[in-house]
Structure 1
Amino acid sequence: MVETHISYVFLTGKYAYKIKKPLNLGFLDFTSLEQRRVYCQREVELNRVIEPDAYLGVVAVCWDGDRYAVEGTGEVVEYAVKMRQLPSEARMDLLLPKGLVTRQQVRRLSEKLAGFHGRTGASKEITQVGGRRALAANIVENFDQTKRYTGVTVSRCAFKDIQAYSLACLEAFDSLLERRETKGFVRDCHGDVHTRQVFLDDTIHLMDRIEIAERFRYSDVGQDVAFMAMDLDFHRRSDLAKLFVQHYINKTGDRELPKLLTFFKCYRAYVRGKVSSFLLDDPSASPELREASRLSASQYFSLARRYARRSAPKGIFLMVGPSGTGKSVVAADLAQCGRARHLMSDRIRKELAGVPPLERHTEAAGKGIYSGFFSRRTYEELLRRAEEALRAKKSVVLDATFLRKSYRMPVYTLGKQFDVPVWVLWCKAPEELTRHRLNVRATEPSISDGTWEVHERQAQQLEPVHEVPSEQVIEIDTSGDREENAATLLKELYRRQLLAA
């Protein structure tokens, strides 16, 4: 017997019988016997389009008062999909680790999928159900459904990165996705094309087309292609993934697919992580199955993050704004999860002065460690450390006021020197909130010596950022929820990085 998150498959040697679990996961409802019968019938009808000889029909499981029997007599207690049993040793995910999948088999699989896509339906209704709006809804649902697994199968950092990247892709690729809709690339697809569904014997078998909801099956054909390519990457056979995709493109002429491939791969890897995570909540699953599912989910989520990080915003993040506008909070949130090195002028200033970081310095403007000489020295050291980080291939967040253009210009020069973008993050906040923050800061230990009086003076000195293209400048209102602000900024940085690529 083989168990999945939504079914049991009983193997007899000649036939395989799939019984659906009586589950309600929101996106599927198998709780009644009649619903399970309907979905069994739908599964057979849909999969006969691809594998007419493998899917034999729907049969009843009966109880005669003494024992259960498939296609027996008595009370019908369950329904099963009856299939010709394919040899388990021919399953692609089991052959890959042994090095027994050939390049010719991958080409044939690619041709089979391309041929199926060429025959399957495309219509206005399919586009409405499976187009870019549905993709967006599915992505949002994925993150809603997996929040409870953060810290279990997906790290908090991975969750944030993948979410920001996915939402950014929806915006950055909207016109391309819309164009593909009008060209008929959104079709009645397979929906679950991964190596566990493929059997390689004398012919190529592609099993288990999704029957539970049209919105998971109707999609851009590129999602089917990306699903298989992703799973080949998962099995450490990126060479076969590239071959599979390129052969599909050669057969179909879909030259736009590479632009979307990483996005679609990330989406499909996240779906696999989500589905594996669901088994952790199944009380009927064995401890061994739950542990295997936990490991599988973690690996798929990690793969999804690696795809997302290919487009991660990199370079120099230059904070701008007077004291109290929330720069250091934004900088710290951006730098977390190893995204960048956080270089803070307040800390560097006190290190250079040889004083403890929390020691208060309230001398008059232009005096002591806030003299013009000491400020220039602080900015020079900030740039020196930034250069050191860039040489180590690290991104940096430069956390200082950078009020004057003359302080910002050397940063742009540094970006050109290392051929990395400079993103200007201009922080702003309402006056009342800024005053409140600074008043609270004055009563608590803080590395910053900023006060309301300091803020007012700095606001007068601030030179607006007009020296670089607007595409490099992001104005941030820090008055909202901190976590939402961080998510919005990360998504916007991903979006701009994608558009600049």
Structure 2
Amino acid sequence: MANDSSHNAAANNVSLGDKVAFLSDSRAYAGFEGEVDVKETHMAWVFLTTDRVYKLKKPVEYNHRDCHFLRDRELLCHEEVRLNRRLAPEVYLGVAGLRLDDDGTLVLEEEGQEVDEQVVDWLVVMKRLPEHLMLDVALTQGTVTETRITLVAERLSDFYQGLEPVEMSAETYLDQFQRELEKNREVIEDTRFSVAREGVAFMLDRLDRLLEEEPELLGSRARQGRIVEGHGDLRPEHVCLSDPPVIIDCLEFSRPLRLVDPFDELRFLGLECERLGAAWIGECLVSECARRLQDRPDRRLLAFYTAYRACLRARLSLAHLLDPDPRTPDKWEPRAREYLALGLRACRDLD
């Protein structure tokens, strides 16, 4: 790792636009002559060649991590590789340095190659997965089968079984949900948005009341040692239906957000599949993982996790509109309403 002064001096001389322009050109990649597929996400720029993916983290500040500094982006790149190799060991190839050559031109080094000076940024390097095998794409194409989902459940069950339980008090576990529920309410009921209605208010109140009146429903999960350092962002676009299946893009920037009950994560994935018209996937995942993990969570606990995640996803959708210059602004309120409708449906099983 280069020293901070050389890191900062080099990095400050190259703008994000310059980096994106360079990495969007096929000449940046040795032996590649095709067109680079460029995608922007909330947190990164992603560059796809024929068989590889290069991810450049944006130099911005998030709730859980300040990425303005080069050393922090380097750390997060290495963390992303380390954590994701748990579920996709052959996909995450390493971290590559982007540096300035002696003549001032940008050069992308091979992953794992030591770069001592003139580093301007770091990129996660991944093997490119077949797009048609990603769960979200396969759902739109109607190619998902129960056999494939069972394999995903087996992969996740093996993953969870291999993790050490995290020591966490019931009070700490409950406090996390209480804080997030307060944030959910603050955004969802913001008068700048038009998603709150009587049913939504009922759902928010019902989730609050459950924590207050029945703390043991969730608290028992911590007491039983069910909390692990999981994936943290288990969504269809992160699941590849290969054989064996792989799961990518875990949440690398905040360990607290990775400390979860496996069935919270499973209900999150089930929620996203239900939004895409495949509610059966969530039921299959929970049933198979419950059998393999020898854990039968309460039906009402699963309903709470689903409704909670629905409200959280609605909040995060709306939060895009609070950015100074949101991308695809027309997308987020309808998306929030979809999540809230799914949350209301889950709430029926809380009584």
Distance (whole Å) between structure 2 residues aligned to residue 94 and residue 10 of structure 1: 19
After TM superposition, give the deviation of residue 102 of structure 1 in Å: 0.4
The code of the aligned residue for 2:344 comes to R
2:229/2:260 contact within 8 Å kept:
yes
Aligned counterparts of 1:96 and 1:139: Cα–Cα separation in 2: 30
Change beyond 3 A, Cα 1:195–1:47: same
Structure 1 counterpart of 2:313, from 272, 278, 285 = 272
State yes or no: 1:32 paired with 2:69: yes
Are 1:47 and 1:55, in contact at CA under 8 Å, matched by a contact in 2?
Answer: yes
Distance in 1 (alpha carbons) for counterparts of 2:55 and 2:172: 27
- Alignment-mate amino acid for residue 83 of structure 1: M
2:143 is equivalent to residue 100 of structure 1? yes
Q: Which runs of 5+ in 1 are unaligned?
A: 312-497
Distance verdict in 2 for CA 1:13–1:152, change over 3 Å: farther
Deviation readout 1:215-274 (Å, 9 max, x if unpaired): 211022211111111112111112222222111112122212423111101122222223
Match of residue 250 from structure 1 = 291
2:335 counterpart residue number? 296
**CA 1:271 to 1:67, structure 2 compared with 1: closer, same or farther past 3 Å?**
farther
Quick one: which of 9, 14, 28 aligns to 2:51? 14
Match of 2:84 in 1: 47
Read off the aligned partner of 2:315 and give its amino acid letter: K
Map 1:364-379 → 2, pairs under 5 A: none
Higher RCO structure (Cα 8 Å, ≥6 apart): 2
SS in 2 for 1:297: helix
Q: Are 1:117 and 2:160 counterparts?
A: yes
- Distance, in Å, in 2 between the alignment partners of 1:300 and 1:216 is 20
- Structure 1 pair 132–205 and aligned structure 2 pair: CA distance change class (3 A): same
SS at match of 1:94: helix
Structure 2: runs of 5+ lacking an equivalent: 1-37
Q: Indicate the residue corresponding to 1:69 in structure 2.
A: 107
What is the CA distance between 1:66 and its match in structure 2? 5.3
Contact 1:60 1:76 in 2 (8 A): yes
- C-alpha distance in 2 between matches for 1:26 and 1:183: 30
Alpha-carbon spacing, 1:26–1:77, altered in 2? closer, same or farther (3 Å):
same
After TM superposition, list the pairs within 5 Å mapping 1:147-158 onto structure 2: 147-148=189-190, 150=191, 152=193, 154-157=195-198
Q: How does 1:32-431 map to 2 (within 5 A)?
A: 32-64=69-101, 67-71=105-109, 75-124=118-167, 126=168, 131-148=173-190, 150=191, 152=193, 154-157=195-198, 159-283=200-324, 286=327, 289-308=328-347, 310=348
Aligned partners of 1:168 and 1:96: how far apart in 2?
A: 36
With over 3 angstroms needed to count, the CA separation of the structure-2 counterparts of 1:109 and 1:165, relative to structure 1, is same
| 1:17 counterpart SS class | strand
3-state SS, counterpart of residue 246 of structure 2: strand
Q: CA RMSD for the aligned pairs?
A: 2.5
CA shift in 2, pair 1:183/1:20, >3 Å: same
Give the Å deviation of 1:285: 5.3
> In structure 2, how many angstroms separate the alpha carbons of the residues matched to 1:106 and 1:280?
34
Which structure has the greater CA radius of gyration? 1
- Following the alignment from structure 1 to structure 2, what is the Cα–Cα distance between the partners of residues 160 and 31? 38
> Higher mean Cα deviation, 257-266 or 20-29?
20-29
Query: 1:146: Cα distance to partner?
Result: 4.7
Matched position secondary structure for 1:69: strand
Q: Is the 8 A contact 1:153 1:295 kept in 2?
A: no
Note closer, same or farther for the CA distance 1:128–1:217 as it changes in structure 2 (3 Å cut).
farther
Question: Compared with structure 1, are the counterparts of its residues 92 and 46 closer, same or farther at alpha carbon in structure 2 (3 Å cutoff)?
Answer: same
| Change in CA separation of 1:253 and 1:237 when aligned onto 2, cut-off 3 Å | same
**Aligned partners of 1:294 and 1:66: how far apart in 2?**
45
SS in 2 for 1:131: helix
Is the CA contact 1:130–1:215 (under 8 Å) kept in the aligned structure 2?
Answer: no
Show the 5 A alignment for 1:482-497. none
Give CA deviations for 1:356-392 in whole Å, capped at 9, x if unaligned.
Answer: xxxxxxxxxxxxxxxxxxxxxxxxxxxxxxxxxxxxx
Q: Residue 163 of structure 2 aligns to which amino acid in structure 1?
A: T
Tell me, what secondary structure is at the counterpart of 1:30?
A: coil
Report Cα offsets for 1:385-404 as digits up to 9, x if no partner: xxxxxxxxxxxxxxxxxxxx
Over 3 Å counting, the alpha-carbon distance change for 1:144 and 1:67 in structure 2 is farther
Q: Counterpart of 2:329 in structure 1: which amino acid?
A: R
The amino acid across from 1:87 in the alignment is P
Change (3 A) 1:203 1:258: same
Deviation per residue, 1:389-442 (Å, 9 max, x gap): xxxxxxxxxxxxxxxxxxxxxxxxxxxxxxxxxxxxxxxxxxxxxxxxxxxxxx
Q: Aligned AA for 1:103?
A: E
- Distance in 2 (alpha carbons) for counterparts of 1:54 and 1:176: 38
Q: 1:105, CA displacement in angstroms?
A: 0.8
Distance 2:47 2:245 in 1: 22
Q: Is the 8 A contact 1:269 1:304 kept in 2?
A: yes
Percent identity for Structure 1 against Structure 2:
27
